[in-house]
Structure formats: C-alpha cells, structure tokens
Structure 1
Amino acid sequence: MEYTISAAARILGANAVGAGDYAFSELSVDSRRLSFPDSTLFFAIETGTNDGHKYVNDAYRMGVRCFVVSHDIPGMERLSDAVFLRVPDTLSALQRLAAYHRDRFRFPVVGITGSNGKSVVKEFLYHLLCGKYNIIRSPKSYNSQIGVPLSVWNMDASYNLAVFEAGISMPGEMERLERIVRPDIGVLTNIGAAHQENFLSMKEKALEKLKLFRDSSFIVYCADDKVADEAVRSVALTARKVTWSMENHDATVFVSGITKKEFSTSFIIKYDGREGRCEIPFTDDASLADVLHCICTAYCLDPSLLDGMLPFSTLEPVAMRLEVKQGRNGTLIINDTYNSDINSLAIALDFLSGRKGGSGCKTTLILSDILQSGCPSDILYRQVAGIVEAKSVDNIIGVGPELSSHSDFFGIGKAFYRSTEELLADFRASDFSGRLVLIKGSRSFHFERITERLEQKAHETVMEVSLGAIVHNFNRYKSRLRPDTKMICMVKASAYGAGAVEVSRTLQEHRCDALAVAVADEGVELRNEGISIPIMVMNPEMNCLNLLYDHALEPEIYSFRLLDAFIREGKSRGAVSFPIHIKIDTGMHRLGFAPEDVPALCALLKGQETVKVKSVFSHLAGSDTPSLDDFTMLQISRFKEAAETIERSAGCRVLKHILNSAGIERFPEYQMDMVRLGIGLYGISMCGDTGLRNVSTLKTTILQIRDVRAGDSIGYGRKTFVDRDSRIAVIPIGYADGLDRHLGNRAARVSVNGRLAQIVGNICMDACMIDVTGINAEEGDTVVIFGDDLPVSRLSEAIGTIPYEILTSPSQRVQRIYLND
C-alpha cells in the first residue's frame, strides 16, 4: 500500500528537507535488510545500544531515498536526491505512522499478550482459521516497540483478519503498543516470571499487559489463572470477558473429560448450552492451554465456528525459531518452516544473506507454494521473484503447482516441481555441495523429508544454540556502556562450545566491534568463512606468525621474544603499521609484560614502523569476587599507569581495556575505551544478572527403558545399586560426547519432561543411564542435560568445576543446531 513522502510528513507533523515527493510502500529500520530500497522509508532509530543515524549513508548506497531522522547526519548535504523528514523522536514517528495505517482498516484485529505462548497461540489461530479468513499475522515474534509497528504496516485490503503479538519488558510500553494495534479481541495467554525484573510484582505486570485491551470488545483469558483473573477484575475494562476454565462451570467455555493418550489429548468443551469434543495431537498442558485460548478467540469472532470441526487434529508443534544445521558435503542448511508468507520469506532471505557474508558460497532457495496469502497469484509470485532477486539468491527450486506455473518470473538458476514427491524423485544431495540452502515451505509440503536427505549427522544428542539469546546478551551488556565504548566478543574455544562460525556471523551482523580467539587457527577458520571484522588472537604461538599476516589477524603481544619475531616477519613482508595489542601483567601472572618492562617496550616500539599499538590491555584476576576488590583496584591502578606511559610514547591515541564480563557488571566506571565480553555473552553471569538468556541447550533422547529390581546394580563396576524397583532409561550421551564421568553415580540430574532424574552408574563412552522411576517418561522422549530450566551451573557445582568447562566439553560429534528467534 503506497504513501507519498508528503503524506507521511503531514501524518507525522514533520518538516521535509530535500526535493521530490517519492512514493513508498515499505518501512525499514535496518540498512542490512532492504528488499525494495527504492520504495522504502528508512527510520533512523536510536536505541540504548545503537543509533540508526550512523547507517543512513549505507541505506542511501543501497538505493533508499526517503528517511526519517531526529538530527542532521555528517555528509547529509551530499545526498541531494534524498528526502529527510525531521522529527523529535524517530521511534515515536514509526509508531505514529503505523497507528495511522491501522486506522484505515475495519476488519477484526486480535491482539495477543502474555508472559509465554504468544507466538504459539498466534500460529495455532492461523492454522485453525486460515480456511475461513485471509489472515495477516506478526512475522515470527515481532512483538516489540519496533516489531509491532512493522507488523501492523503489512495490513492491506486483501485481508479480513489480523493477529498481532505485543510484548513488553517494562512499565509504560504497552500504552504505546495499544495505540498501534487497537485490538478488537484481546488474548491474555498467562502471567509468568518472564521480564519480571522491571516490575514490582506479578500483578503490576499483569495490569500493564491489560492496557493493550483498553478499548477491546472482548478479552480472552483462563479464569483458573488467579493472577490474570484478579487483574482483569480489578480494572475497568469495557471488554466482554470470554474465559475458559477447568474448574468454574460459569466460564464461557468449560473444559472437562480431559483424556491423555500416548500422542494426543481429547477433551470436551461446553459453551452456550452446547457441547463439543476435541482432540489435539499434543499431551502437554501448555499446548492444551494454547488451543483453549484459540477456541475462545474463535468464539469471539463467530460462535458458529465451534459448531463445525476446526482442524484441531492437524495442528503441529510450532517451530518457534529458524534452524541452522550442517549438511552433507559442506552444505549449510537453513530450515525455516515456522511461517510461509512473503514477509517471513524476506526475513529468512535476510538471514541467508547474513550467513553468506563474504564467504563466496552459492545460495539455493527451496520454496513451496505460499498458501492462503489472500493475494492474486500473479501479483504474489512477482513479489516473491522481486525479493529473491533483491537478495541475490543464486538458484531457486520451486515446489507446488502455483510456483511452477509462474516459473517465468524468476530470472536465476531454477528448477520447478509440482510436488515434494516429484522433487525427491529427482533429488541428489551432492548437487548442493558447499552451498547455503534455505528450505522454506508450507507445512503441507512436508519439507522435513528434504532436510533429512541433506543432514549430515543423525546422532540424537545435539546442542541447540540460540542466536537470538546471543544478540540479547550482547545488547544487554552493551546497554551498560557509554555509546563510544567498543566491545570485543570472545569466540575462542569454538565460542565456548557454541560454534564460533555461526556465533561470529551473528555478532558481525549486529555490528560487534571485534572478535577474540585463542589461537591463529581459530581466526583463520573465521576469515575463511567470510568474517571480516577485526579478530584478535590472544595466545599467538611462534610458529603461526605467517598466518597472522596472511589473514589480517591482530596478535596479543605478551613478550619481547614474540614482539621481535613478529616485527622480523613483518619486515620481510614489507608490512607497515600492522595492528598489535600489548598485554600488561598486572597481577594475574599468566601472559604479559611486567610493568617494569614498559620503558624498554616503548623504546623498542619507537624504533620501528612495522607494527602499531592498537590497544593496551590487562586481565582482572578476581573481578567477580567482592573479597578481591582491593586487588582489582590495584590491578586497575597498575594498568592505567602502564597504559598511559605506552600511549605517551606512541604519540597517538591507544585503546585501553581491562574489564571482562564480571568487570562490566561490577566496575562499569573503568570501562575505558573498550571491554571484553566472554562468559556473559553465553548467558552466564558470575555476579547474578538474571536478565541474561541461556544460549546453549544440550539434549538427547531416551533409547530404552527397562525395569530393574531392588538390589540390582547399574553400569560398569556395579557402582550404583537401586534400593527399590526402578525404571532405568538409557540415553545416548557419554564421555565421548563430552559428558564428564564425574557426573555419574547420582552426582547430577538431568531433566525429563520437566522432572529431574538422577544419572546412575558409571558414565560410559557413548551412553549413560538415568533413573526415571515415578516420571512419565517413554522411549523417544527428550532429555535435557543443561538448558533454560536446568542451568549449566548446576552440573559444574555438582562436580566442583566451573561453567566454562561444562560448556566447552561437548565434542564435535554432537551436532550444533542454531536457532534464530
């Protein structure tokens, strides 16, 4: 839907600077994610961690000519054919424009909020109702102050129902979102502990969430949720309360007769004097609650929807996040079947571009027909072809009759098949060798069969790595710093076990200033995978100096011997001002120059031009331990004196840094020019920061369950005897997978279906045993070794070690699966 820049100026009350009344139909806040730049209005958003004004020139180079800014930018006068709308607050302007756009439509809007389950309820609603409505919904989890307006902007006249998420993390946010969404039907999923740190109580958070429903006609919630029910009853909402309950017969929908089978749950709903029986393909309570929220929402739209059978039996688990897996023959698989619409396609293609980086890998998109778009197929697939071309995809494989009939729209390498079966009959995994492959399909096409053909490893023990959590933690630490303070992120030891390449790509995409690895080989791998930002090598060895120069890897220099050798190597290459980082030993006594060595070091550096000191740094020995604060202050004092001496000798500014993760949390006043973020990036605070998100989840499955009689022993050496009749499960993870043998014999517990189970017996090379007595566990169930609800610190404490060791232990035969929120 097009607007002109003059119309936008009127809506926003902005002054337009520049010539031309351009038309735009797209909004963007990210210069890296532009599908149609010549029809995009770019908002330069300022956040706690970044400023979009820095990227206006990048967006201009990509073809954008329409901008919303809050202040002038350097070189603005050179962008003579661009138009700038000047506003006091660019985020408020984005929200105001989206609110204006929302007001143009009269079809029903469903707004979903709550602590958990928003995205699942949204996707379940879409599945249940897409046969009866043309539905526009939030892409992925676009529920923030920026995500909501971008979601609402996608509304147009081809739809007759909208479903949007709205999430908050602090007071005052929901009022702004309410003005944008203005839901006719409000859904409150639940009130839990998520984002509690900025609220005084659960009730305060519930009341804040309820502001989304200020002018709604209906509000859907569970009457058995006491916090939600009390909050709703305490405010003067005009909305009709549409509730479900398993306890209160007066609820709009009363639920009874719940019967759980091996793979499904059946139940009876009673409403308006009627009764219906439903069966869903889930056995967990959370999925049942999500479905019941959907039933109440359908009731609000039209009670007769419940008279016929909505397609409950075909609901599938919602893959909340895009997955990245290693495939055969060097293939990287990006699996995204969470959404299948044009907006989520653009998001997935942006992710594909970020993974490609400067690696030079060819890209292939495997795409199915886009179902229930509400858009004429000619228009839809011309848009798809335009996005695919704009994202520089090398090849497309289209599956489905609609895509096949529009194959002429695609001017790249292509092949089209009318069905998944037809593609599989012609499929050879070797055709994708060394490629980045994005698999994007509607669920009815069952593209998991394609993924299975391409996957490299079938081992059921995997490490899931949340790239969204990496970004969250990165931004959380960044928000503690001054805007001009730089940050180095530690990706040594394969990014603390998470996998350095994918983590580094994510950090580079989010404009991390530099990365740090331990040895040169780690840096070479990153360069070969297209990582172009500065990389510091913390422990360079004498036999790798050539690699440092060949791959532009910046060494930590910790001794005269290393410095002399590195200068000699550089002179032989004609190097000038190659960046190095000087390490000062202020008391850790690991690597580094002693403070008394600094005068001689300065003299040596002055007498040459081969290298140039980029930074001076030291490492705190006890920044996470309050009892060592006096020693920390001594280290900082020693460091400042040495660093200032080196900077004076150099005659130019030298970056200074001493803070690690714990230092950032406890001593932000000493952030200097730069900080180094390590364990905190991976979700572990040594100082109790509860706002970090877990990054890595190690999980496996139950291979077999057997009954063991009281008095029998378990495992090698008969180290564990059971004192009661027990159910013992075998799981395929052992010390060859990185599970420490000391965790056996009841030293530690794992999680099975939300219950803790002890590891019993000696841990074997490839397997171990757990006691699932009294736990509802079956063969094939998932077992979590550590993750969101079972912190890695519990395992480390059980055997007297540190979380670092547990995180870095999983071996390479444990496949890393990357999830992107």
Structure 2
Amino acid sequence: MPTDRETMYNAASISKILKGELLQDAGAPEIAHILLDSRKLIFPETSLFIPIVSTRRNAHQYIPELYEKGVRNFLVSEHLPLELYPDANIILVKDTLQALQTLVAWHRQQFHIPVIGITGSNGKTIVKEWLFQLLEKDYNIVRSPKSYNSQTGVPLSVWQMEAANQLAIFEAGISQPGEMEHLEKIIRPTIGIFTNIGEAHNEGFLNRRQKINEKLVLFAKSDVLIYSKDYLELNECVLQFHSQIGKRDNQQGLQLLAWSRKTDADLRIISVDKDHACTRIDALYQNAPIYISIPFVDEGSVENAIHCWALMLYMGIDHQVIRQRMDLLGNIAMRLELKQGINNSSIINDSYNSDLGSLAIALDFLQQQQQHPTRTVILSDILQSGRSDASLYEEVAGMLKKKGIHRLIGIGKNISRETRAFQDIPGLKSQFFPTMEAFIQQFSQQDFQHETILLKGARAFKFERIGKLLEHKVHQTILEINLSAIAHNVKQYQALLKPETKVMAMVKAFSYGSGSFEIANLLQFHGIDYLTVAYADEGVELRRAGITMPIMVMNPEPSSFDAILQWNLEPEIYSLLLLQQFEEEVRTSGKTDFPIHVKLDTGMHRLGFDKKDIPALARILTENGQLKVKSIFSHLAASEDPAMDEFTRRQGRLFYEMSHELQKALGYIGIRHIANSAAIQRHPDLQLDMVRLGIGMYGIDSGNGEMQEKLQNVSTLKTTIAQLKYLSEGETVGYGATWAAPGPAVIATVRIGYADGYPRSLSNGVGKMLVRGQLAPVAGIVAMDMLMLDVTHIPEVAEGDEVIVFGQQLPVQQIASWAGTIPYEILTGISQRVKRIYFEE
C-alpha cells in the first residue's frame, strides 16, 4: 500500500482501502487527483471522479460526459452499464461522500508531520494564511486552499499532502451536529486552534454551547489546543472537554495553551496600544515580558495575531524572529475580485497568493467569464511548492491547456527557466520576464485589449503594481457584488425545491442593479435553467458576452423581433395581437417551432391572456408550426403578504385551470411556472415545473420572514470622505441652507449624490451612513454628486475614510424604509457611473 503521494494510488489499491467492489478493472493508471465537480476537470488521465449525491443533485449524471473527456477512474454508489465504459476502472461503494472521507483519512495517516487544525466562528482563514506567512521560511507547508473547510472541502485540502511537506495547516467548519466527527478523522490535528465563537451557522444548533462542543470534537486526539479564555462559554466548554479527554488512556493527554487580556493565562496580554496604522501587544509568557507589533489596528486582526503568536511560542520559535515576522504581516486576499480593466478588458485580481491549489480555483473563476474572447494569465514564480521546477511548471502548463488559456505572461526567474513546458500547448502564446521591473519597463496599455486577465502572484512579487496599470480608474463610489453570496442564496432556494423543479433567474434591470454578464456567467456556471431579461437588448448583450443558456424576454416589442430571432431569444407572448405579429415575423424568417412563453393573467391585471382568450390563443397556436410553447406562466401579485394569501391561492387555482385548458388544446405540456422568490418559500404548492428567482437571489426576502436569516448580503455600496468641515453653532450646510449646526459640528462631504442613485428624499437626517462603524445622519440636501454627513460624534474621523451607504451592517432594506420605498427601487436605481466590483470569497 502507498505510504505517500509518490507511491502510486490506483483503482485496485483504493478499492482495497475502502473495502469497495471493483466492478471493472481496466488497468492500473495512477490516480493523483480527486474530482468532485465535473466543471473543474484539469487532469482527466490521473483523476478519480467521485459523484456526490445530494437532495438536489445526483452527480452520477455527469459520468458519461467525463468519460468522453478522458476520465477513466470512477468511484460510484450506483451500478453503471459497464459496456458503455469499457476502458474505465469503476469502484462501487455504499456512499460516495463517506468513501471520499474514508479514503482521505487513510491518506492522512501515512504522514507523521505536525498538522495544525483550526476551527471557530471567525478568523479561520486569516489565521491559516498568516501562519503560512510566518512559518514558510522554516517549513514546506501544505494548507487548505482559500476557505476549503466543509465536508468536501476538507478532504480536497488534506489530499494535497505529499512527502515533501513538513507542516500542514487545515481549517474546519461545520453547520450542523455530527459533522466534525468526520472532519477530525480526516485532519487528525496534532495542534489545535479555536479562534472564537460567534453567531455564524447558529441555525443548525440548539445553542452556542452545543456548537462549541461540536467544534471541540476536532481536537479529540490533539497534543495541544490554543484558545482565548476571554470567551466565557468557550473557556468553560474547553475545560469540560479537557477533563473528559483526560479520562482516556492517553500518553500525555491534551495540553491547553490559553491566552487572555483579562485574567491569568499561559500567554497573558498586558497591554494593546494602537496608533494610526500599527498595534503593539505586550504580554507575559513563562514569567518573561515579550511583545510584538502588527501593521493592523482592528480588533479582529489583534485577536488573529495573538493566536498566531501563541502557536509560534508553542513551537519554540525565537522571540526576536517572531517580532520581525509579525511586523511584516500582510493583508490576506479573502476573495477573487473581478474589475473593469483598460481597453474593454476585465481584471481578476488574485495577487497575494501563488500555489497550485489557489491557481486551480482562480482558473475555474476565469473559465466562468465568457465576456471576452481571450483569456490571459499573468503568473509569478510559484514559491514553497517543494517540487522541482520542471515537474511543477509541467503541471501548471497542463492546467492552462485544459482551461483553454490563450496567453501566459510569466514573471520570475524560475518560471522563465521553464519556458519549454509551455511552448507545445496549442494556441497558447507565452512571454517571460525575470523580474517585475523588467515587465513594467516594457508595459504598454495597447498590449491588453478585449480580454479577461487573471493576476496570480506570490506576495513577494507585489502584483498590485500590475493591477494599478491594468485596472480602469474609477469613481471612488463603488458597488461591490459578492458572487459567492449569490451562489449561496440560489442554493438556499434550491433546497426548498423538488430535484426536478427548474429555476429561472431574473437578470432584468441590470440584474437588479448588480450587473449583466457578470451575474449571468455565474448563473450559467452553476447550472441555472433559464435567464429572464426585460427587453431584447439586454438579452443581446448577454449573448454577445458568451451566454448560451435559454433567455426569456419579458417585454418583446415588435421592433425587437429581428434581434430576438437573430440571437435565439425567447419572447413572452401576452396578447393575441403580439402573438399574430410575432408569428408573422417567424413565418417570414422561415423558422419553425420557435420557442415562446405564454403569459396568463390570473389577477395582476398588467399583462397576459384572460381566461376568455384561451380558445382563440389555442387555435392560433395549433394552426401553425412556426411557434412552440416552451412555458406557460403567470405573475403573483402579493405572494409575500400573509394577509393576501387567499388572493394568492385564487391566483394559483385560476392558473391551474387556464394552463390545463391550454395544454389540453395544444396536445403537449410546456413548463408551468408562477412562483416568485417569496412564493418559493411561502407557497410551496405553487412551485410546479419551474420557479422564478428574483430579489431573493440578491439577498432580500421581500416578505421579511424567516428566509431572510438564511440569505447572505450581496451588494455593498461604499464611498469615501472627500473633505471635513468644522462649523460653529448656527452655520448652515448645503443648498437652501436647510440644516444648521446645533453647536460646534464636524461635517464630512462624501462622494455620492442623487445622480449616483442615492434618493434626495433622504436629506436632512432622514438617511444615515456608516462611518467607522457608527451611523452618521445626512446633513442638508442631497446634491447631484455630493452629500454631507454630520460626523461630530465620531472620533478620529479623517478625510479619505470609507463610508458604507448600505451593506451587511446597514441593509438596503433599511435605506428603502427611510426613503419610503422598496429595496428593488434602491438597487435598480444605482447609476451606471458607479463602478461595480465583483468578487468570489
């Protein structure tokens, strides 16, 4: 049996590890990669595909596609028709997720190096990445890519362990009881860090104590646990856990290494002193005074740094070395950012991190982008890999080839020495520079046009310098769109649906202000069934940006029929006149069975066929072969309002009657849909064949019910302070002099106005914004490009400070309430001059 990654795994050895049944043995090729997502295939010849079965999706359906793409190793929980896969190795197990975890737990046991396991509510990824920064000079480190800490993310992380590694750092997160027991067997940490305890994922647990106790399971067989005594519940649970562990027959038991700012502890924090950009932390350790300085001042960073400090002290690292490295801690890029670039290009910024795991994630994100014909990667040397340059860059070349990259710009001495690895890739142009200075010296804006560019560099290369050259200079008011949150929200609604129920996503009105192709790319990547736009030109824009999935047009004007036919869009038909006009256009074009969507009016009384229209509608549709009814649908008027539930039920009954009558007349069954975001959750009987997901996808439950707690914030509108004014009592602010200082006042002028979409109705204290975490009321009248905030009560406010208009801590629903409107209007009203930045966490 293998003892490390260099000794080959194959189907026979994996079947033996899992006690599975090797249904078909077609040979013994090496298995080096685990594949869970068919869209992320890079190395087909050496990948083992493990189809995970969930309530929403059975990934066995992707086996034929992957076999066609060259995958030859499959671990399944269903019998397959073996004759269709004659060259495949197929292992049968009872449960594929359990088998994945068992396989990787076995793999973990082949290594006898220190393994750091990190759990907690917040800070896991920061602590992991800071420990990597602090220890990379001493150890060859393997760590979780990004925040891979779930039931599938942890196995993918631990599978990376290989013989060259000297230290491993993995994070673990859970959302319900029982999960950590599986992750403990996979990670089996020798050193544990419990960062803190908060409210994240509370919905899966009875209370916080249950959540703490579940997370502590990760450290059942660890040598030491590092934590803060300042969280009372955490400290009590740790002591109880320690007592229970101590009763077992263990050589030394679990050692506790606690730190505290309030009471005696192994690492006793004496003082925390902050200046403008740095924090000095003094402490006592083993009765000796020690200190560190970090280039951060926020409380989260202080806490994360102390956890790292305690770990380094435990590992016996010299105090002087710790101080030097702590002083150099850098920002951690917690997200992939998609920004507008020069010359109609898009920039993906992931320039703080360079390793194979994070490169694979970034390439997946790059592959989602369809808006430009060319994909470029600017890549630095990959440091601390523990691999020979030749084999490392051959693997990188394989990744670029599989992802269809058109251009590579390599920066660094190591990658520049391995040009041969990239020369034989069809369609790949490559260029290499030994240093960042050499690249910048020859940089020309004209060399980058109409392409999507991924910046992927190790911290030492300071790729932010390239970002400044390539990114489009923007107005300091920006709207940040969290693509990961959109994906999360979609999954929350999908969890409420039957597996066969399709999802139509509403991307009309610039995706509720969030963007067009950026959102559509994400939805297409995640397998949404349909998109919906308001007008044909929105659909044309998506088609030009590479969106191939079906698109319904809600307001098809006769002048747009030509574009609809040319770009294969699918119109909503809501009247006999429109039906006749479109049917004539299709007949003239020579097309047949062109898809349309029939809108029925069940009580909204805006657009749609009435019940009396059904016979004439059916007659026209059955007498010609030009049109094919793809779906029949209607629009609920008040599905979010409990007081209108009987009205909603009447709409549902009428829709059943009308759609059944039309289907019977047509002789075939189209997709039926009536449920919007609110109805998905509140009226499950109306989910039917498809649902239309709109505002809920963007993090807003229009009914303000229990669903809101499960959704994540998507949009954050932020700006900056342009200038501070110091007023005396009675001095006025803004047009009309409508606001006067009640006493000495500090007024901040910020870079946003009604031309950016901030309602003028929020003038004179009605609206508020967040400055340094505190609400600041609007002073005076909102102007076109600027407004003023009263920041008198906020200490240390400074010009250039960030101002949050709405976001996680100040929901857009609150802004809408102050303005006397609805979140839809606020979101869709954000001006196009406000630049959007998209990111994946």
TM-score normalised by structure 1 residue count: 0.98
The alignment covers a number of residue pairs equal to 817
The alpha carbon displacement at 1:724 in A equals 2.4
The range that moved more, 705-714 or 393-402, is 705-714
State the 1:771 CA deviation. 1.8
Deviation at 1:362, TM superposition (A): 1.1
The Cα offsets for residues 120-153 of structure 1, whole Å up to 9 and x where unpaired, read as 1111111111111111110011111110000000
Would you say 1:700 and 2:716 are equivalent positions? no
1:324–1:334 CA contact under 8 A, matched in 2: yes
Q: State the match for 1:153 in structure 2.
A: 159
Say if 1:320 and 1:338, in contact at 8 Å, map to a contact too.
no
Q: Is the 8 A contact 2:593 2:627 kept in 1?
A: yes
Judging changes above 3 Å, is the alpha-carbon distance between structure 1 residues 76 and 352 closer, same or farther for their aligned structure 2 residues?
farther
2:380 corresponds, among 368, 376, 379, to 368
Q: Does 1:54 find its partner at 2:86?
A: no
Tell me the secondary structure at the aligned position of residue 410 of structure 1.
helix
C-alpha offsets along residues 229-288 of structure 1, whole Å, 9 cap, x if unaligned? 12212322442111111111x211111232111111112122112222211111100001
Rounded Cα–Cα distance in structure 2 between residues aligned with 1:319 and 1:755? 25
Please tell me whether the aligned partners of residues 322 and 338 of structure 1 are also in contact (alpha carbons under 8 angstroms): no
> For 1:504-531, what per-residue CA distance to the aligned partner results, in whole angstroms no more than 9, with x for missing partners?
1011101001111111011001111111
Contact 1:185–1:300 (8 Å) recurs in 2: no
The equivalent of 2:533 in structure 1 is 517
Distance 2:348 2:785 in 1: 28
- Quote the Cα distance in structure 2 between the aligned partners of 1:752 and 1:209: 35
Residue in structure 2 matched with residue 66 of structure 1 by the alignment = 73
In the alignment, which residue of structure 1 is the partner of 2:257? Answer: 242
- Describe the superposition over 1:66-105 as per-residue Cα deviations: whole angstroms up to 9, x where unpaired: 01111135x6531211121111111111111111111110
Give the counterpart of 1:775 among 779, 783, 794: 794
Which residue number in structure 2 is paired with residue 290 of structure 1? 304
CA distance in 2, matches of 1:12, 1:724: 75
Question: Could you report, residue by residue, the CA deviation over 1:786-814 in whole angstroms, capped at 9, with x for unpaired residues?
Answer: 11111100000001100011111111111
Q: How much does 1:47 deviate? A: 2.0
Contact 2:116 2:192 in 1 (8 A): yes
Given that residues 129 and 310 in structure 1 are in contact (C-alpha distance below 8 angstroms), is that contact kept between their aligned partners in structure 2?
no
Pick from 356, 360, 369 the counterpart of residue 342 of structure 1.
Answer: 356
Does structure 1 residue 126 correspond to structure 2 residue 132? yes
Alignment match, 1:664: 680
**Counterparts of residues 201-212 of structure 1 (less than 5 Å):** 201-212=207-218
Deviates more, 1:453-462 or 1:472-481: 453-462
**Offset at 1:439?**
0.5
Q: CA deviation at 1:376?
A: 2.2
Which residue in 2 is equivalent to 1:215? 221
Instruction: Return the alpha-carbon distance in structure 2 between the equivalents of residues 397 and 115 of structure 1.
Output: 39
Task: Report the equivalent of 2:248.
Answer: none
Is residue 292 of structure 2 the alignment partner of residue 278 of structure 1?
yes
Closer, same or farther in 2 for the Cα pair 1:441/1:303, shift >3 Å? closer
Whether 2:335 is the aligned partner of 1:327: answer no
1:651 pairs with 658, 667, 670, which one? 667
Is residue 2:684 matched to residue 1:677? no
Partner of residue 653 from structure 2, selected from 613, 637, 642: 637
Q: CA deviation at 1:716?
A: 1.2
- Return the letter of the residue paired with 1:413: K
User: CA offsets per residue over residues 172-205 of structure 1, 9 Å max, x none?
Assistant: 1111111111111111111111111121211111
Match of 1:198 in 2: 204
Structure 1 residues 692 and 338 mapped into 2: Cα distance closer, same or farther (>3 Å)? farther
Aligned counterpart in structure 1 of residue 811 of structure 2, from 791, 799, 811: 791
Partner of 2:488: 472
Aligned to 1:758: 777
Code of the residue aligned with 2:150 in structure 1: it is S
* Partner secondary structure for residue 656 of structure 1: strand
Among the aligned pairs, what percent are the same residue? 46
Q: Give me the whole-angstrom Cα distance separating, in 2, the residues matched to 1:276 and 1:312.
A: 13
Partners of 2:778 and 2:461 lie apart in 1 by: 40
Q: Distance in 1 between matches of 2:733 and 2:237?
A: 51
1:598 aligns with 2:610: no
Structure 1 residues 414-461: Cα deviation after superposition (integer angstroms, max 9, x where no partner): 111121121111111221100111000111211111111111132111
- Candidates 12, 31, 39, aligned match of 1:24: 31
Q: Does the Cα contact within 8 Å between 1:128 and 1:310 map onto a contact in 2? A: no
Contact 1:457 1:815 (C-alpha < 8 Å) held by counterparts: no
Q: Is contact 2:724-2:749 (8 Å) kept?
A: yes
Per-residue CA deviation, residues 388-422 of structure 1 (Å, 9 max, x unaligned), is 22222111111111111222221231111121121
Counterpart for residue 109 of structure 1:
115
Q: Distance in 2 between matches of 1:308 and 1:206?
A: 30
Q: What amino acid sits opposite 1:247 in the alignment?
A: K
CA positional deviation for 1:686:
2.1
In 2, Cα distance between the equivalents of 1:182 and 1:25?
Answer: 21
Q: Do structure 1's residue 489 and structure 2's residue 505 form an aligned pair?
A: yes
What residue ranges of structure 2 are gaps of 5+ in the alignment? 246-252
Contact kept, 8 Å, 1:219 with 1:241, in 2: the verdict is yes
Q: Output one character per residue of 1:355-400: Cα deviation in whole Å (capped at 9) or x when no partner.
A: 13xx561111101111222222222222222222222211111111
Is the Cα contact below 8 Å between 2:482 and 2:840 reproduced in 1? yes
Shift of 1:307: 6.1
Verify the 8 A CA contact 2:746 2:792 in the aligned structure 1: yes
Whole-Å separation in 1 of the counterparts to 2:782 and 2:329? 39
> Which range moves more in the overlay, 326-335 or 12-21?
12-21
- Alignment check: 8 A CA contact 2:224 2:257 kept: yes
Secondary structure of the residue aligned to 2:383 is coil
In the alignment, structure 1 residue 6 sits paired with structure 2 residue 20: no
The DSSP-based 3-state class of the residue aligned with 1:314 is coil
Letter in 1 for 2:816: S
Counterpart in the other structure of 2:250: none
Alignment partner, residue 231 of structure 1: 237
- Contact kept, 8 Å, 2:293 with 2:323, in 1: the verdict is no
- Per the alignment, residue 186 of structure 1 pairs with 192
Measured after TM superposition, the shift of residue 305 of structure 1 is: 5.9
CA distance in 2, matches of 1:307, 1:317: 20
Q: Which residue of 2 aligns with 1:400?
A: 412
SS of residue matched to 2:479:
strand
Q: Could you tell me which residue of structure 2 aligns to residue 428 of structure 1? A: 444
1:582-621 alignment to 2 at 5 Å?
Answer: 582-621=598-637
Q: CA shift at 1:705, angstroms?
A: 2.0
Say if 2:478 and 2:836, in contact at 8 Å, map to a contact too. yes
CA–CA separation in structure 2 for the residues paired with 1:76 and 1:753: 63
CA distance in 2, matches of 1:444, 1:640: 63
Partner of 1:263: 277
Q: CA deviation at 1:299?
A: 2.3
* Letter of the structure 2 residue corresponding to residue 241 of structure 1: L
What is the deviation of 1:302?
A: 2.5
Confirm or deny: 8 A CA contact 2:143 2:168 kept in the other structure: yes
The one-letter amino acid paired with 2:412 is G
CA contact (8 A) 1:299 1:306 kept: no
How far 1:227 sits from its partner (Å)? 2.4
For 1:574, the equivalent position in structure 2 comes to 590
Q: 1:494–1:500: 8 Å Cα contact kept in structure 2?
A: yes
* Paired amino acid for 1:814: V
Shift of the alpha carbon at 1:300?
Answer: 2.7
Gaps of 5+ in 1: none
Shift of the 607–751 alpha-carbon distance from structure 1 to 2, 3 Å rule, reads same
Q: Deviations over 1:541-584 (max 9, x none)?
A: 12101111111111110011111111101001111111111100
CA contact (8 A) 1:324 1:333 kept: yes
Q: Aligned to 1:67, what secondary structure does the other structure show?
A: strand
TM-score (norm 2): 0.95
Counterpart contact for 1:123–1:318, Cα < 8 Å: yes
Shift of 1:648: 0.8
Q: 2:51 matched to which residue of 1? A: 44
Do residues 546 (structure 1) and 562 (structure 2) align?
Answer: yes
- SS of the residue 2:359 aligns to: helix
SS at match of 1:211: helix
- Distance in 1 (CA, whole Å) between partners of 2:607 and 2:111 is 65
Matched-pair contact (CA < 8 Å) for 1:111–1:187: yes
- Shift in Å, 1:617: 0.6
Alignment match, 2:402 = 390
